[in-house]
A = this chain, B = another copy of it.
Amino acid sequence: MKRLRTFIALAAVPLFLAACGNLSSSSMSGTSGSSKSGGTQLTGQSSDGDYEGVIKSGHYQTSKSRGVTNSQDSGNTYNLKSFENGMLNVSKKVFSTKKYVFQEGQHLSASTVQNWLDRKSKSNATGLNPASNGSTSSTGRNPIYIQALEEQDYMTQKNNKLSLGGVTIGIAVNSVDYYKKTQYGATFETKISKAAGEAYAKKAANTVLKRLRKKSALKNVPIVIAIYRQASNDSLVGGDFIAYSNNKAGATSVYSWTALGEKNYVFPVESGESSPNSNDESSFSNFKTEVQNFFPNLSGVTAQAHYNGKSLTGMHVNIQTQFYSQTEIISFTQYLQTAAQKYLPSGVPIDITVSSTDGVQSFLNRTTGSKKFTSHVFNSY
């Protein structure tokens, strides 16, 4: 039941408002076969690399299992964003953003997903997690392997109508299963190796694929299944996608897996650990030193670094500050614009967020192709 933490009663959705939401820039306005009280629109695309989303009768088409899929958020908030973003990225390998439109999963209900995520038991035959073996010892018990399962739908557009063109299922497996022996008791941990988690998830993926094929809407579309390994609760970055399979329309068992060499690191790297490229580490370290000299009391400079194999593919830099005056924030942000360009690795997209206890103060951004960082200072009249 804890998985229902943020479950939103769909019954509470206000009544559909007719004839509103005809966005002028939408590529399909006011025409849809599925609803007579309004039309289907798209959200608009902010860049070529993003999917557009689906609006029905002025409302965003939320996921049928909304809330359940947020379960992994409880321990490490990085996992949730990382998991959903990663699913989009894996999907882009198969479903082009030029041809497909994103829709939140409409075929798995909240109760279905919840049952799948629970342990298998007499009352829950569809549970994908192993039945309890009665043990509460960290090495003797059967851990919860699968922590989250999410559906994303990819729609194609023809004659002003959207139809399902493919589905991506994300399966998140734990690297550590946190459990309690008694209610409100201490939290214990069962570690799950990468190999064991991956093997368990791949078996579950096969089961999931068979189940999905029993739904008539999903019988004949490509289904991508991607396996994600959650980061532990103390991590400052989310987990990693380790493999995906692209299952052709109609296939009822997973034919092959493609390994993904993506991995996240936190800079500065903890002593004893190392990242794939020490040049990136020292670039970041020079940046950090330089920036920490700038102000007398800068609390922390860290970064999430994303690697594909040995290549850095992006970075999120996080700068925590003491309280600054607005002019200090403006000057600091200008300075960062220069320092980041000089010190941080070139050729990859980088975000820098400057926060204080009052929240985000400013942020800087460099996209893949650009040399310069753009910046924005959050302001108030």
A residues engaging B (CB < 8 A)?
6, 8, 10, 12-14, 17, 20-21, 23-26, 43-46, 50, 52-53, 55, 58-60, 62-63, 66, 69-70, 77-78, 80-82, 84-85, 88, 102, 104, 152, 237-238, 264, 290, 293-297, 304-306, 314, 316, 322-323, 325-328, 330-335, 337-339, 341-342, 351, 353, 355, 358-360, 363, 365, 375-376, 378-381
What DSSP secondary structure best describes chain A's contact surface? Answer: mixed
A353 contacts across to B, CB distance below 8 A: 378
Chain B residues near A104 (CB, 8 Å)? Answer: 325, 327-328
Instruction: Tell which of B17, B45, B80 touches A326, judged by Cβ atoms closer than 8 Å.
Output: B80
Give the complex CA separation of A362 and B309 in angstroms.
29
A316 in contact with B59 (CB, 8 Å):
no
| Chain B CB within 10 Å, residue with most, of A264, A296, A322, A331 | A331
Residues of B within 8 A of A43 (CB): 331-332, 334-335, 338
Is there an interface contact between B293 and A17, defined as CB atoms closer than 8 Å?
yes
A26→B102 CA distance, assembly (Å): 45
Q: Which residues of B contact A264 (CB under 8 A)?
A: 381
Partner of A359, one of B20, B25, B44, B359: B359
- Other than the known A46-B375, A88-B327, what 17 A-B pairs have Cβ atoms closer than 8 Å? A8-B322, A14-B293, A23-B335, A25-B341, A43-B331, A44-B334, A44-B337, A50-B334, A55-B335, A59-B296, A62-B295, A88-B330, A102-B327, A237-B381, A238-B380, A306-B381, A316-B381
List of B residues within 8 angstroms of A328 by Cβ: 60, 62, 104
List 26 interface pairs A-B (beta carbons < 8 Å), by A numbering.
A6-B323, A8-B296, A12-B297, A23-B335, A43-B335, A53-B327, A55-B294, A59-B293, A60-B295, A60-B328, A62-B295, A62-B296, A62-B328, A81-B379, A82-B381, A85-B380, A88-B330, A104-B325, A104-B327, A238-B380, A305-B381, A316-B380, A316-B381, A353-B378, A360-B360, A365-B376
Given contacts A46-B337, A60-B332, A62-B296, contact A327 B20 (CB under 8 A): no
Contacts of A333 in B (CB 8 A): 46
- For residue A268, give the distance in angstroms from its CB to the closest CB of chain B: 16
Q: Is the CB of B323 within 8 A of A70?
A: yes
Give chain B nearest CB distance to A109 CB in angstroms: 16
Whole-angstrom CA separation of A339 from B297 in the bound complex:
41
Query: A53–B331 contact, CB under 8 A?
Result: yes
- How far apart sit A63 and B328, CA to CA, in the bound complex (Å)? 9
Residues of B contacting A25 in the complex (Cβ-Cβ under 8 angstroms):
338, 341-342
Give chain B residues whose Cβ lies under 8 Å from the Cβ of A295: 59-60, 62
Q: Give the complex CA separation of A45 and B152 in angstroms.
A: 43
Once bound together, how far apart are the Cα atoms of A378 and B59, in whole Å?
23
Instruction: Report the minimal beta-carbon distance from A104 to chain B, rounded to whole angstroms.
Output: 6
The chain B residue sitting closest to A313, CB to CB, is: B381
Partner of A379, one of B62, B325, B331, B351: B351
